[in-house]
Amino acid sequence: MNPHTVKTYGEELDQLSAEVILMGGLAEAQVADAVEAVARRDVALAQSVIQRDQRLDELEKDIERKAIRLIALRQPMASDLRKTVSAMKIATSLERTGDLAKNIAKRSLVISESEPMSGLTRSIERMGKLVSSRLRDVLDAYKGSKLDIAQAVWSSDTEVDEHYNAMFRELLTYMMGDPRTISACTHVLFMAKNLERIGDHATNMAEHIHYEVTGEDYMNERPKLTTMEP
Amino acid sequence: MKLYTRPLYAPDTSIGKPRDPSMTTSATTPKFVARDVKVYYGDKPALHGIDIDILDKSVTAFIGPSGCGKSTFLRCLNRMNDTIPSARVEGTILLDGEDLNDRKVDPVVLRARVGMVFQKPNPFPKTIYENVAYGPKIHGLATSKEEMDHIVESSLKKASLWNEVSDRLHQQGTGLSGGQQQRLVIARAIAVGPEVILMDEPCSALDPIATAKIEELIDELRQQFCIVIVTHSMAQAARVSQKTAFFHLGNLVEVGNTEDIFTNPKDQRTQDYITGRFG
């Protein structure tokens, strides 16, 4: 695409995307670290995840400020308008992703005090890796406006849902077998639910990327498992 | 109604309304149908074959960089290019199904049906009343002083100017502010009972408040008229029009719903222009 006649306008739009990419990198790391903190029972790492969440909140506010400023001062049109709006929406999704990662980290602190449940934490680790890779893909798609990657992320949400459902059943078995694990298992269940929600945010972001690039909304219903556990 | 046989003016009902009830149109009926319209200034082509339908009872905005042909095309719609000796127009433009370039068409009658408002307000150096009454007078639209008073009042009301000037109708029109002068010119155009109002950059000489008043007026007038506006302000095109047509280098690149043009244009040239990327 040709550069803007007004250079500073083009630079402001570029800055906005750059900040979303920066935020995306941080959110991705938050999820990966939170899951690692669970897997390794690493209290220091969990605490660092909790602390670093503030940075994501600040970035979201900053992106929102910049987008509002652009709308007010530059009146972006067409692809510029879509870029501005999707930056704002993706920033919100990333901020929520950060909150969910922080919540996983907090729960990891609680379960690190109980007996290790290596089978369960390995399941969380697997699910975490899957969700992290979807986040990474969706951010790559955003960086390069790659529709095919966004489309792939969008269509693969059922995989995460399946993981969640499998974990739900696994956790039920554990809790029925040994009621003393109910407290820890509930925390693990919430972690899995958080990861599933992060997967949904990745799907959201894929939709925003699709809108930004094509100007069209997704027409199809989202792929969803029909038998979803609570 | 034929372009060259104009029925007598009926002052109570006819201003701005189709005189023949069978001609009642809506925002889905094309008022103009232009096909392969080419304009040359001497040997130099200015338009390379424009195809467009312009809907009645709605606002169509023409946008595009200077020299793209948007004003040239606007001027084709009421044969203003006739006044330029070197200009030659080819192709057909139908107004309500009639070719307006037909030799039988009287351009003066055509221009009463298709009024025009220019960039700079150009009231006559006469009183406000005379400015508005001038057209109806030369077209013989009023048979009595009362009828003429009625035309002047209702035209000024339609142009949202009545309240500001009703107590000084016999003062000079040129003494009004720029925005009021522009609304006076619009009232003058409305007074002869047109069906179409063409506007060539009507707000470029006005401040934002006067501009907002004209835009509000355009929004009201589109209930009754077909309005075509040429504007350099993309934001204005987005605010006032339902359809937007983008011209570039003598071609009509893209025409569509205004919302679609400004959020998701189909052509790269439209995209580059409205986002400010033309070098």
Structure tokens at A83: 């870029």
| pTM of this structure | 0.80
Domain coordinates in residue numbering, chain A: 3-214
What span, in angstroms and rounded, lies between the C-alpha atoms of A9 and A80?
10
Q: Comparing C-alpha atoms, which of B227, B231, B205, B207 is closest to residue B217?
A: B227
pLDDT per residue over A104-120, tens digit each?
A: 999 999 998 888 887 88
What span, in angstroms and rounded, lies between the C-alpha atoms of A79 and A95?
24
Residue B5 has pLDDT above 70, yes or no: no
Contact present, A30 and A85 (Cβ < 8 Å): no
Q: If you average pLDDT over residues B8-34, what whole number do you get? A: 57
**Ranges of H-type helices in chain A:** 7-40, 43-74, 78-111, 118-144, 147-155, 157-177, 182-214
What span, in angstroms and rounded, lies between the C-alpha atoms of B261 and B60?
12
- Residue B235: which of A4, A75, A79 has the nearest Cβ? A75
Q: Which one of B253, B260, B268, B275 would you mutate to disrupt binding with A, by most A Cβ within 10 Å of its Cβ?
A: B275
ipTM of the predicted assembly exceeds 0.85? no
pLDDT band at A188 (very low <50, low <70, confident <90, very high): very high
Q: Residue B63 in 3-state DSSP? A: strand
Which numeric CATH code is attached to A3-214?
A: 1.20.58.220
Domains, chain B, in order of start with CATH, read 30-121+194-274 (3.40.50.300)
Contact state of B277 with A4 under an 8 Å Cβ cutoff: yes
Using the Cβ of A80 and the Cβ atoms of chain B, whether some distance falls under 8 Å is answered with yes
Which residue on chain A is closest to B262 by alpha carbon? A78
B62 beta partners = B230, B245
pLDDT band at B205 (very low <50, low <70, confident <90, very high): confident
Structure tokens at B146: 């009362």
